[in-house]
Amino acid sequence: MNEMNKNMEAVVDEELDTVSGGMTANYRAALDVMAGKYGNGEERRARLTAAGYDYWAVQRLVNGLAKDYDRVARDVIAGKYGNNQARINALNAAGYDAALVQDLVNGMLL
């Protein structure tokens, strides 16, 4: 089990809306929030609620994931995940959204 899964296991275990593949709907929504698909602040709250999510459950997941993804992005910058397709494969194998990590890396380097 990778570190992200260890850190989030307790929160994810609370979710009762498990979907296929073992990922909860709220967990998927949290990844979407981090990718910017639900906006920020009140817009995020309204859009998540309108889509049928528990805003606070998703936000707790986002907060935990943000810390973990920040660490992974810094590890990518340090070269710990390789380059190009090898990096994508390593991040995906570790349970991370490689595109999201790359967006964070790009933001850190600008």
**Statement: residue 8 has pLDDT above 70:** no
Which of 68, 72, 57, 64 is closest to 24 using CA atoms?
Answer: 57
Which range of residues forms the domain containing residue 7?
Answer: 3-109
Q: Can you give the pLDDT at residue 23?
A: 64
Spatial distance between the Cα atoms of 73 and 44, rounded to a whole number of angstroms: 24
Q: Can you give the pLDDT at residue 3?
A: 52
Q: Can you give the pLDDT at residue 45?
A: 96
Provide the number of structural domains found in the chain: 1
Spatial distance between the Cα atoms of 96 and 72, rounded to a whole number of angstroms: 9
User: What are the tokens at 10?
Assistant: 């307790």
Q: What are 25-80's pLDDT values in tens digits? A: 998 899 899 889 999 999 999 999 999 999 999 999 999 888 899 999 999 999 99
Spatial distance between the Cα atoms of 58 and 92, rounded to a whole number of angstroms: 22
